[in-house]
Amino acid sequence: MKKVLLMMLMLCGLAHAQNANVYFDFDSHALSDKAKAKIDSTLTTFKYYSGVTATIQGFTDDAGTPGYNDTLALKRARAVEAYLKQVNPTLNATVNAQRLSTWPQGTTDAQKRRVVININNMAGCGYREEYEKRYPSGNGVIVIAANFKGRTDMPRPSVTTSFSAEEMIANNRFGVDTTGNILKSWGMIDIKGGQSDDGFYTLMVPITGTPDPDMSIWLPGDENADSVKWKDTDTQITIDPTGKYYVFRVPVSASGNTRVNLDKPCGNFAYSGNRFKVKNGKRVVYKTVYVATDKPYAFFKVNSGHKNYSMGFSAKINDTLYAFTLPKHLMSRGMSFSGWENGQEKPLTFRLSRCTYTKDANKNDYYAMNENTLKDKPKAQKTGFFAWIARQFS
């Protein structure tokens, strides 16, 4: 699903406004303790967020002249603004006064002597520094947790980031959606453990090159201990004021393992015409390279075979099937993998040039391991006392 990336303003969104009404004594603009308590009990999370916007509207009853009432209503609104800024100094408020010529039937004078507070969507704002915990992680990713209770003993999450084909294959990442489509994953983030008091993590991910308007956030739609299939979301991605980070919020998983996939939603790579922007602004058509093995291997490195090109992603479909993308004009036979097999003393090399090769009508490549693929693989280490003696003198 296409996302529009917006520069993150210091102002927050208008959705899901929170409202509060506070009332004043006759001919007074002093904010009573009761009114302050009403604000505190209604706007319970207001103080935690940075750059919250509000509209504050003052009203009066019908006693007094219009000019006097306008001044009194504005003083009441200013008194509320001053208190809110004591609670949260980062508030951006628009303050107005208004006399209504008509009130709803049955409105009493006491009900007219009020100030209406409209707080805009605080969830779109960042936390104030004293109410957040930041966890710098690999690849420049920053995980931000809400710390509304001021705890010093919040559990630190373990964060694993995968932003290259090599990292994804080494970290055993899956790149398939819930319908079986292969995703052109741009990066994946795993957050294990940790807590956030509002139930969300805010993630800041460094932007490489030009911001991509097609980037979207995918979360697990089907997962277990061994694998995950992704589902697209409507999560809004913004860009921080410096222009250096994608910024978005994801819910903390109840399982304790929060998984995130940043993806360019392109559909199934079995179809032709998948085009993506590259750094110089031109477009390039990608193909999928499928690699099938005879059994699971602990791969930790992959090489595209082209000095100036690398795979845009690594998608593990299952334990014996992988899919990669390369520009369609490039040959894939030069790709190779390094990995481990149980019982081997040294890593093995898996070369696509030694596999059985086919391609489909869309010029996607298919490689399957055969008896020659690992012809020169290291022999299994012998066990036993005499084998150990032999190794000591070899």
Query: What does the pLDDT profile of the chain (394 residues) look like in tens digits?
Result: 444 444 443 334 433 457 899 999 999 999 999 999 999 999 988 898 888 899 999 999 988 888 999 999 999 999 999 999 999 999 999 999 876 667 888 899 999 999 999 988 665 578 888 999 999 999 999 999 999 988 888 899 999 999 887 888 888 888 888 888 777 788 899 999 999 998 999 999 998 877 777 788 999 998 776 778 899 998 888 888 888 999 999 999 988 899 999 886 443 333 334 444 444 555 667 788 899 998 888 888 888 777 766 565 667 888 888 888 788 888 888 888 888 877 677 788 889 999 999 998 888 899 999 888 886 655 555 566 556 556 555 5
CA distance 40 to 86: 12
CATH number at residue 77: 3.30.1330.60
CA distance 323 to 35: 62
What total of structural domains would you count in the chain? 3
* 138 inside domain: yes
User: Which residues form the domain of 90?
Assistant: 17-120
- pTM over 0.85, yes/no: no
Q: Is residue 262 located within the same domain as residue 322? A: no
Within this chain, do residues 190 and 86 fall inside the same structural domain, yes or no?
Answer: no
154 and 244, same domain (yes or no): yes
In the numeric block, the tokens 């003083």 are attached to: 75
Q: How many residues does the chain have?
A: 394
Q: Are residues 36 and 99 in the same domain?
A: yes
Last residue of a domain, one of 220, 238, 268: 268
Residue 126 falls inside a structural domain? no
Q: Are residues 193 and 116 in the same domain?
A: no
Count of beta carbons in the 10 Å neighbourhood of residue 143: 23
CA dist., res. 263 & res. 312, Å (int): 11
Strands of 92-97's sheet, edge to edge? 18-23, 114-119, 53-58, 92-97
d(CA 293, CA 283): 32
Q: Are residues 232 and 292 in the same domain?
A: no
- Structure tokens belonging to residue 94: 């628009």
Environment class of 37 (CB within 10 Å of its CB; exposed 0-12, middle 13-18, buried 19+): exposed
Report the sign of the C-alpha dihedral through residues 229, 233, 235, 238, in that order. positive
* Closest among 309, 305, 263, 308 to 286, alpha carbons compared: 309
Q: Which two tokens stand for residue 256?
A: 């304790």
**At which residue do the structure tokens 């460094």 appear?**
206
Do 193 and 281 sit in the same domain of this protein?
no
Helix segments in the chain, DSSP class H? 33-42, 66-87, 109-112, 165-170, 385-392
Residues 110 and 171 in one domain: no
